[in-house]
Structure 1
């Protein structure tokens, strides 16, 4: 069995902080990579990991700069897709990289620079809005993490990582078709921009029906396989249920959190934008996804708060784009 010396988690936010914190709790050697105020609080006070069952402060080692790699180190990349190249650029190219990220473009981007690349399909409800603090809402397991070698297959390292995750309050599974699961997750993540722009205001059903219809039409036209919603529900089962944390209000998903933190960027180019890109290549109109991509980018640049747009205003923009580009898939 392969021995992993250390997990180096690049990006210690909601996903990376939960993965790193849980692995550390289980006795694994972990190094978090963070920046800014988050790094400073982690270094001074430790990682405050709050779950439905406990709240612990963990003394996980942290750095803001690359460190000398040891044989057996694994890089776990948990930054937003728009930060992938910058986050990995300073690191030596001889380590395996696990892309614990939304979207489907990261693995190919990383493969240009690193020989051993693994995709991870992440189902992990968590938030990070305050430096040093991560709230993980999943229970009884904190997340379902499916991973495989990119572009396909599994190997001994993949199996070892899955086993370590399964011993660390996750359901870790090695799968040979990880990208099929990640494309299914992409279809679900097409709603992230809507949540960031409009919050949980009523009126999302018709918009999201259009958004996901475009996504399926584009993937079908491209011949790209994706798991069905039924397969996703069956795989997740009751292993990871979103449960409340006393005293901690749950906001939105990853894109909502980007606006809430006024980060200045958002991952819509790699979610809705992936559908737009494929649609342009194949001649399939994607007006709803284009508007969500464009408006989410604008909201991030202008540092607007989550929920700053009404569903009616968003629907009107989609209708205007639809008239300009032609009918979208039914």
Structure 2
């Protein structure tokens, strides 16, 4: 099995690098500048599970020589259109596309471009970044990928993918409920990001402020109502964990979207909050807090877009 990892940032670089360590056939699709840097310096991982220095196979879009068995899509949602053009030549009749993107809009876009049969559902959990030396730094021990067929079946191709991914280098899980898991992750990301954006603080700071817990739980309720309107019922175990996570005293937790906002970078506001809001309104739901959060984030997003 051959895998093409689209993007060699903190997430794609980490998981792709660990697969290379395990002897898997992995190639990174990158821009010319990123290729030059990785060729010169290598791909370095700094992790509590052990550091690694690798010399991965690297190609640019014009160098794709034919279809791959798996395309692991690890770009930000706002880069999806450009990425699809870049990796299109790598998608053949039997190719599986496994996206690490958040929300659900990307699944519709990818299905329209490449066909629904190419898609594998997936959720990814890791906290990593690229430091000033260009190294991928893993900040805690969370590293798990869950994947599965969107209809819940266990097919020969998903079993082959499962065997490919099971290296022992990170957690993997083949799920028969991947669509629900994707929605659950979206609920948590939208609630966390909206809470951070509206209150401009971490979960612990929000909890300590008057009305903070109420804000977080109301946002969670709005996100869950959209999910249920879409015909997906979150598990009680997930909801219990979400309530605890979003109201934990002293928690430093923030969303990656909020960290991007603090750093002055583009944010996935439309994909994580805006699309959830649009789906809910289409279903006739009243979502005042998600609406306020989306307006807040888009004011920021429009401001930085105007300066670039």
State whether TM-score is above 0.5.
yes
Residues 104, 179 of structure 1: 8 Å contact kept: no
Aligned to 1:224: 232
Contiguous gaps of at least 5 residues in structure 2: 207-211, 242-251
For the aligned residue pairs, the C-alpha RMSD in angstroms reads 2.8
Residues 38, 132 of structure 1: 8 Å contact kept: no
Aligned to 1:298: 299
Within the candidate set 10, 15, 24, 1:14 is matched to: 10
Residues 39, 132 of structure 1: 8 Å contact kept: no
Change (3 A) 1:167 1:106: same
Residues 22, 168 of structure 1: 8 Å contact kept: no
The 5 Å alignment of 1:204-283 reads: 204-230=212-238, 253-259=255-261, 262-263=264-265, 265-283=266-284
Q: Secondary structure at the match of 1:202?
A: helix
Change (3 A) 1:199 1:26: farther
Determine whether 1:102 maps to 2:102: yes
Residues 75, 98 of structure 1: 8 Å contact kept: yes
Aligned to 1:202: 205
Stretch deviating more after TM superposition (178-187 or 61-70): 61-70
CA–CA distance in structure 2, aligned partners of residues 261 and 11 of structure 1: 21
Contiguous gaps of at least 5 residues in structure 1: 234-249, 305-330
Change (3 A) 1:103 1:151: farther
Change (3 A) 1:152 1:112: farther
CA–CA distance in structure 1, aligned partners of residues 13 and 197 of structure 2: 21
CA–CA distance in structure 2, aligned partners of residues 220 and 11 of structure 1: 33
CA–CA distance in structure 2, aligned partners of residues 199 and 58 of structure 1: 37
Change (3 A) 1:165 1:180: same
CA–CA distance in structure 1, aligned partners of residues 133 and 293 of structure 2: 29
Report the CA distance between 1:214 and its aligned residue: 0.4
Aligned to 1:323: none
Determine whether 1:28 maps to 2:24: yes
Q: What TM-score, normalized by structure 1, do the two folds share?
A: 0.75
Report the CA distance between 1:117 and its aligned residue: 0.9
| CA deviation map 1:166-196 (0-9, x unaligned) | 2141222222221110001111111135446
Within the candidate set 113, 121, 124, 1:122 is matched to: 124
Change (3 A) 1:206 1:58: farther
Q: Larger relative CO (CA 8 A, sep 6+): 1 or 2?
A: 1
Residues 6, 72 of structure 2: 8 Å contact kept: yes
Q: Secondary structure at the match of 2:120?
A: strand
Change (3 A) 1:158 1:66: farther
Q: Secondary structure at the match of 1:89?
A: helix
Report the CA distance between 1:222 and its aligned residue: 3.2
Q: What TM-score, normalized by structure 2, do the two folds share?
A: 0.80
CA–CA distance in structure 1, aligned partners of residues 287 and 261 of structure 2: 24
Determine whether 1:169 maps to 2:207: no
Residues 184, 238 of structure 2: 8 Å contact kept: no
Task: Count how many residue pairs are aligned between Structure 1 and Structure 2.
Answer: 281
Report the CA distance between 1:35 and its aligned residue: 3.5
Residues 197, 296 of structure 2: 8 Å contact kept: no
CA–CA distance in structure 1, aligned partners of residues 240 and 67 of structure 2: 35
The 5 Å alignment of 1:134-149 reads: 134-139=136-141, 143-149=143-149
Stretch deviating more after TM superposition (275-284 or 254-263): 254-263
Residues 214, 286 of structure 1: 8 Å contact kept: yes
